[in-house]
């Protein structure tokens, strides 16, 4: 018997096509362009093309004073603004040698963990959306709205908080905040189960997410992948635990890892991380110390010459600020290490050989924020 | 019938599907969370940062601003433009306080730095206009009564 | 009140009137018949448009409430007129052919898709006497005329000159052909029990709804029907998150409206078929037959909507697996079991 494929190659000659996914596309999560080479529905190669929302945030730092720049850091990764503020403040504080009061540290942890919850909620909804399930999005946004209301109560804004200052935070908790947050945490306890029932118990979701986008720890390390994506590959790397900053050693939480390294593992890590964050928030509220929320810092702050690189665990991985000071009121140079950039860099490897639909699922499972990549 | 890659046991499949269906069905008969915006509105917390305002002191009927320029200097975007003049007593006073709404990011640094408690951020947030020139607000010309218990928005604490 | 229970009795009266009118106007009596036929077609189209409107509104409301939203609220009381506003918008919108499109194929495609769905509507028994065209091979007819729809989708996907459309069209062709098989075979169980292909006879023969005898057949039919109408979880031809809008990415205005109409008409036809074959069609106590028919169809439609707003979407190859490796063997198994039981009893 003759083999059609080998004996008559010209009869079954197929061509690869190039598919431009984005920059305007429903599931590239912003202005990201993926140049896909397709053989039928199979991806031969993928090349991410980004930079569509470059705003020159690093250069901007050179013309703004330290306190003025804090509200710009909110716009790097708009879903985990607090972590950006935090790493910037930590870098500047390290340069200037400013002490942060203990209560302020607690408030920083509190806001950061709330922010992580809200960020993961958005990701969860978007992940469902990428797989064609529309309903989880509205549910997670409903819950996220509660977190945003807490932030509104605390710092007067829902996404661009501008809450941290060098040497502390702007304001103390408003009177009703503690009660409302405790109510939210109580409400939030059973929510991950609902998401599980809606998504990860669903056989369709499972066959879509399982065994795709397999990220091995070695690949992850070689591409500097961090955060839940790395923990989804079984590496228990969490800066809050392995390189503790602020008052994280005070709290009892678990570094969530999953061994499989596929999209489903990354999903499980994030859902469980929301639970852990809620636990930390509850502990902060219980053990909140009395005292100042902001140490005395001169209004015109001249930071001594030097350089500092400080990194924190953001919702997506390691978020770092490298600051160079020349002794003036403004940074001489600012470099931002964003997790999404490294996390995206691994995508071409992950999508090789999968179907088009899986590209969307894998991209969604990596949880990237485009403005953060482009800065 | 071969077992397909990645599929679970048949029973798990059925249970898994019904779990999801139960959740959406339960929600169908629960209360939606929509707020019908122009008719219903959220109650903003006191600290919400809306448009910048300059309330008047009820005793003197004047704004408290002394034209110290701190807010203009702290503003990251240059959205505050202060003009000063010298009054009869030979002292510097405020002539014109222009807030460029189109440049403002509502970061609240101006309110935070003001030492005279002359600036507040109100809850006014529906600031869209058809004419760009209307984004230039002259704050000291507006009459907003000053009240120390005012909960209209962000104030210095 | 009498006509509520037998609306079909209206038509002969109307036809007499039309004939009289034709004679009065000095035209042959034939003209009256033609006018009558046109009236039926027009009535069907109106019925189809109305059904789709109600369906779209219901879907948006149900989807809204399932998602903790409230759906359309602005146009009319609780947004009931929203569908009309949307229809007007789609009609008055500029129709536009992309530069890279194959112009005529591109233009024809939506009508091919719509016609396929619409023609099936003709043979549905809405009530004992209310069937636009009574065919003794009604079942075969409905299934057969629905099939060319896939050609229209393929035409749309191919002619748009867009890679997303192309992939969507190809997926759609593969999917609809694959699911045609279990769909048809699952129906055969009912045909074997009732011994006829006439939809009227099938309904008449159901003393208890056939879903009791054919639960597996019903399930297979339901799944295949969802896949046939390209709805979530099988909406890979228009998979929004992957292919923007699949085969109708490049369509807008009235041409898009026809695709939209076709999707919902197909949904209605398949639901009506399920109601007729498995749930006993118009049969039911107290209410007029067509009310029962619509209620049963509505129940199936609710399932369609419910699935769509709950489940994620399959991947193209998993979809094929489901059809060929699970549903088709199961359908044959069902057929075999039905046959054995019929022989043995």
At C132-162, the pLDDT tens digits run 677 778 888 888 887 888 888 888 888 887 8
Cis peptide before A23 (omega within 30 of 0): yes
Q: Is the interface score ipTM higher than 0.95? A: no
Go through chain B and tell me how many residues it has. 157
What residue spans of C131-234 are helical by DSSP H?
138-146, 149-159, 163-194, 199-204, 215-228
- Give the pLDDT of chain A (375 residues) as one tens digit per residue: 677 667 777 766 777 888 888 787 777 777 888 888 888 778 888 888 888 888 888 888 888 888 888 888 888 888 888 889 999 988 988 888 888 888 888 888 999 999 999 999 999 888 888 888 888 888 888 889 889 988 888 888 888 888 888 888 888 888 888 888 888 888 888 877 777 777 877 888 888 888 888 888 898 889 889 888 888 888 888 888 888 888 888 888 888 888 888 888 888 888 888 888 888 998 888 888 888 888 888 777 788 888 889 989 888 888 889 989 888 888 888 899 889 888 888 988 888 888 888 888 888 888 888 888 888
Tokens of A137: 């999005």
What pLDDT, on a 0 to 100 scale, did the predictor assign at position A353?
Answer: 84
Rounded Cα distance between C257 and C236, Å, is: 20
Residues of chain C with pLDDT under 70: 1-10, 130, 132, 237-242
- Classify residue A264 as left (phi > 0), alpha (psi -120 to 50) or beta: alpha
- Backbone dihedral angles phi then psi of residue A159, each to the nearest 5 degrees: -125, -40
SS3 of residue A178 by DSSP: helix
Q: Are A314 and A79 in contact (CB under 8 A)?
A: no
Tokens of B113: 């730095």
At residue B39's C-alpha, the angle toward residues B38 and B41, to 5°, is 75
Tokens of A142: 């409903």
Q: Which residues are CB-contacts of C271 (< 8 A; sequence separation ≥ 6)?
A: C225, C297, C298, C300, C301, C304
Q: Are A32 and A20 in contact (CB under 8 A)?
A: no
What residue spans of B4-122 are helical by DSSP H?
10-28, 70-74, 109-113
At residue A170's C-alpha, the angle toward residues A169 and A176, to 5°, is 95
Would you say the C-alpha torsion C103, C107, C108, C112 has a positive or negative sign?
positive
Bridge partners for A46 per DSSP: A36
Q: Which residues are CB-contacts of C330 (< 8 A; sequence separation ≥ 6)?
A: B1, C182, C216, C220
Torsion angle of alpha carbons C87, C88, C93, C98, nearest 10°? 20
Rounded Cα distance between A237 and A256, Å, is: 9
Q: Locate tokens 């597996």: which residue?
A: C216
Tokens of C47: 């019925």
- Backbone dihedral angles phi then psi of residue C77, each to the nearest 5 degrees: -65, 120
What pLDDT, on a 0 to 100 scale, did the predictor assign at position C214?
Answer: 81
Rounded Cα distance between A33 and A35, Å, is: 6
Rounded Cα distance between A133 and C233, Å, is: 8
Tokens of B103: 């440049």
What pLDDT, on a 0 to 100 scale, did the predictor assign at position C166?
Answer: 83
Name every chain C residue with its beta carbon within 8 A of the beta carbon of B20: 310-311
Substitution target from C226, C238, C315, C322 for chain A, most A beta carbons within 10 A: C315
Q: What DSSP assignment string belongs to A190-204?
A: THHHHHIIIIITSHH
Q: Are C268 and C297 in contact (CB under 8 A)?
A: yes
Tokens of B102: 């189109």
Go through chain C and tell me how many residues it has. 345
Nearest CA in chain B to A140: B33
Closest Cα in chain B, distance from residue A374 (Å): 20
Using the Cβ of A127 and the Cβ atoms of chain C, whether some distance falls under 8 Å is answered with no
Bridge partners for A320 per DSSP: A311, A337
Q: At what angle do helices A263-286 and A356-366 cross, to 10 degrees?
A: 20
**Chain B interface, Cβ < 8 Å to A:** 4-8, 12-13, 15-17, 19-20, 22-24, 27, 33, 44-49, 74-76, 105-109, 112-113, 121, 153-154, 157
Name every chain B residue with its beta carbon within 8 A of the beta carbon of C309: 24
| Tens-place pLDDT, residues C312-324 | 888 888 888 888 8
Q: Are A198 and A133 in contact (CB under 8 A)?
A: yes
pLDDT tops 50 at residue B3: no
Cis peptide before C233 (omega within 30 of 0): yes
Rounded Cα distance between C136 and C54, Å, is: 30
- The separation between CA B10 and the C-alpha centre of its own chain, rounded to angstroms, equals 53
Closest Cα in chain B, distance from residue A141 (Å): 10
What pLDDT, on a 0 to 100 scale, did the predictor assign at position B8?
Answer: 65
Question: Is A203's CB within 8 Å of B153's CB?
Answer: no
- CB-nearest to C325 from B2, B29, B32 is B2
C5 vs B29, residue with greater confidence: B29
Tokens of C129: 């006497």
Question: Is A139's CB within 8 Å of C67's CB?
Answer: yes
Beta strands in A69-123 (DSSP E): none
Would you say the C-alpha torsion A318, A319, A324, A325 has a positive or negative sign?
negative
SS3 of residue A82 by DSSP: helix
Q: What DSSP assignment string belongs to C255-278?
A: HHHHHHHHHHHHHHHHHHHHHHHH
Q: Which residues are CB-contacts of B43 (< 8 A; sequence separation ≥ 6)?
A: none
Question: How much is the pTM?
Answer: 0.86
- Classify residue A22 as left (phi > 0), alpha (psi -120 to 50) or beta: left
Sheet holding B80-86, edge to edge: B80-86, B92-100, B136-138
Q: Are A192 and A117 in contact (CB under 8 A)?
A: no
Q: What DSSP assignment string belongs to A201-233?
A: TSHHHHHHHTTSS---HHHHHHTT--THHHHTT
What pLDDT, on a 0 to 100 scale, did the predictor assign at position C7?
Answer: 60
Name every chain A residue with its beta carbon within 8 A of the beta carbon of C309: 134-135
B touches which chains (3+ CB pairs under 8 A)? A, C
Give the other-Cβ count within 10 Å of A236's Cβ: 12
In this structure, the strands spanning B120-121 and B52-53 are: antiparallel
Question: Is A135's CB within 8 Å of C66's CB?
Answer: yes
Substitution target from B34, B35, B36, B39 for chain C, most C beta carbons within 10 A: B34
Name every chain B residue with its beta carbon within 8 A of the beta carbon of A263: none
Give the gyration radius of chain C's Cα atoms.
21
Q: Locate tokens 């100042």: which residue?
A: A292
| Tens-place pLDDT, residues C99-116 | 887 888 888 888 888 888
Give the C-alpha distances (Å, rounded to integers) separating C152 from C116, C170, C323: 9, 12, 22
Chain A residues 182-221 with CB within 8 Å of chain C: 198-199, 202, 204-205, 207-208
- CB-nearest to B32 from C69, C309, C310 is C69
């Amino acid at each position: 018997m003759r083999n059609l494929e080998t004996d008559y190659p010209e009869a079954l000659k197929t061509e690869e096509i190039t598919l431009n996914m984005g920059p305007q596309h429903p599931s590239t999560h912003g202005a990201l362009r993926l140049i896909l080479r397709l053989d039928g529905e199979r991806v031969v190669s993928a090349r991410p093309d980004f930079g569509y929302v470059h705003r020159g945030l690093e250069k901007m730092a050179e013309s703004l004073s330290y306190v003025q720049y804090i509200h710009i850091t909110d716009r790097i990764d708009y879903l985990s603004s607090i972590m950006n503020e935090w790493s910037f403040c930590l870098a500047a504080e390290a340069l200037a040698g400013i002490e942060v009061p203990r209560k302020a540290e607690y408030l920083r942890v509190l806001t950061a963990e709330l922010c992580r919850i809200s960020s993961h909620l958005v990701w969860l909804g978007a992940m469902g959306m990428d797989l064609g399930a529309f309903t989880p999005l509205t549910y997670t946004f409903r819950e996220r709205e509660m977190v945003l209301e807490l932030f509104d109560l605390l710092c007067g804004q829902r996404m661009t908080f501008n809450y941290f200052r060098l040497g502390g935070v702007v304001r103390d908790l408003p009177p009703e905040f503690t009660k409302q947050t405790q109510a939210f945490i109580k409400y939030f306890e059973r929510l991950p189960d609902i998401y599980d029932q809606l998504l990860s118990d669903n056989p369709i979701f499972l066959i879509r997410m399982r065994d795709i986008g397999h990220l091995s720890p070695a690949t992850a390390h070689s591409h500097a992948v961090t955060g839940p994506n790395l923990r989804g590959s079984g590496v228990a790397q969490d800066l809050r635990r392995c390189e503790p900053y602020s008052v994280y050693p005070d709290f009892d939480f678990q570094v969530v890892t999953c061994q499989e390294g596929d999209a489903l593992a990354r999903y499980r890590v994030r859902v469980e991380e929301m639970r852990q964050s809620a636990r930390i928030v509850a502990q902060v509220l219980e053990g909140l110390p009395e005292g100042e929320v902001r140490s005395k810092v001169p209004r015109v702050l001249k930071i001594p010459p030097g350089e500092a690189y400080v990194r924190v665990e953001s919702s997506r991985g390691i978020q770092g600020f490298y600051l160079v000071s020349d002794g003036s009121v403004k940074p001489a140079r600012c470099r931002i290490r964003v997790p999404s950039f490294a996390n995206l860099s691994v995508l071409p490897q992950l999508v090789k050989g999968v179907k088009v639909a899986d590209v969307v699922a894998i991209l969604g499972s990596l949880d990237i924020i485009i403005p953060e990549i482009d800065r | 019938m071969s077992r397909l890659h990645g599929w679970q046991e048949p029973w798990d499949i059925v249970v898994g599907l019904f779990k999801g269906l139960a959740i959406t069905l339960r929600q169908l008969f629960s209360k939606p969370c929509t707020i019908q915006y122009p008719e219903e509105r959220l109650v903003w917390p006191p600290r919400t940062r809306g448009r910048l305002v300059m309330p008047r002191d009820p005793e003197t009927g004047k704004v408290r601003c002394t034209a110290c320029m701190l807010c203009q200097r702290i503003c990251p975007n240059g959205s505050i433009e202060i003009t000063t003049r010298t009054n009869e007593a030979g002292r510097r006073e405020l002539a014109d306080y222009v807030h460029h709404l189109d440049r403002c990011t509502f970061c609240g640094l101006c309110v935070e730095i003001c030492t005279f408690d002359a600036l507040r951020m109100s809850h006014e947030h529906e600031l869209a206009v058809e004419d760009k020139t209307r984004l230039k607000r002259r704050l000291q010309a507006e009459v907003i009564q000053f009240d120390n218990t005012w909960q209209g928005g962000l104030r210095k604490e | 009140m009498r006509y509520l229970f037998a609306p079909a009795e209206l038509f002969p009266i109307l036809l007499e009137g039309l004939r009289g009118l034709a004679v009065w106007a000095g035209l042959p009596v034939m003209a009256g018949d033609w006018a009558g036929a046109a009236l039926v077609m027009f009535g069907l189209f109106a019925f189809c448009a109305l059904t789709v409107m109600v369906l779209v509104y219901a879907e948006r409301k149900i989807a809204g409430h399932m998602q903790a939203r409230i759906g359309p609220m602005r146009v009319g009381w609780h947004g009931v007129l929203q569908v009309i506003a949307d229809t007007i918008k789609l009609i008055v919108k500029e129709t536009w052919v992309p530069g890279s499109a194959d112009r005529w194929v591109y233009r024809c495609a939506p009508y091919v898709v719509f016609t396929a769905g619409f023609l099936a509507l003709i043979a549905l028994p809405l009530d004992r006497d209310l069937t636009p065209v009574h065919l003794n091979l009604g079942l075969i007819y409905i299934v057969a005329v629905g099939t060319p729809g896939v050609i229209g989708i393929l035409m749309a996907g191919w002619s748009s000159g867009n890679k997303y459309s192309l992939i969507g069209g190809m997926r759609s062709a593969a999917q609809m052909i694959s699911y045609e098989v279990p769909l048809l075979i699952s129906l055969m169980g009912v045909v074997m029990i009732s011994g006829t292909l006439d939809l009227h006879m099938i309904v008449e023969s159901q003393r208890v709804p056939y879903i009791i005898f054919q639960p597996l057949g019903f399930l297979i039919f339901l799944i295949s029907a969802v896949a046939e109408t390209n709805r979530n979880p099988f909406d890979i031809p228009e998979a929004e998150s992957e292919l923007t809008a699949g085969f109708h990415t490049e369509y807008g205005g009235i041409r898009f409206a026809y695709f939209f109409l076709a999707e919902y008409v197909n949904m209605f036809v398949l639901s009506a078929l399920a109601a007729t074959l498995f749930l006993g069609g118009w049969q039911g106590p107290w209410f007029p037959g067509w009310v029962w028919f619509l209620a049963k169809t509505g129940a199936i439609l609710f399932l369609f909507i419910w699935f769509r707003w709950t489940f994620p979407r399959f991947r193209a190859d998993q979809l094929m697996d489901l059809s060929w490796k699970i549903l088709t063997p199961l359908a044959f198994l069902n057929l075999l079991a039905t046959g054995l039981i019929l022989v043995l009893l």
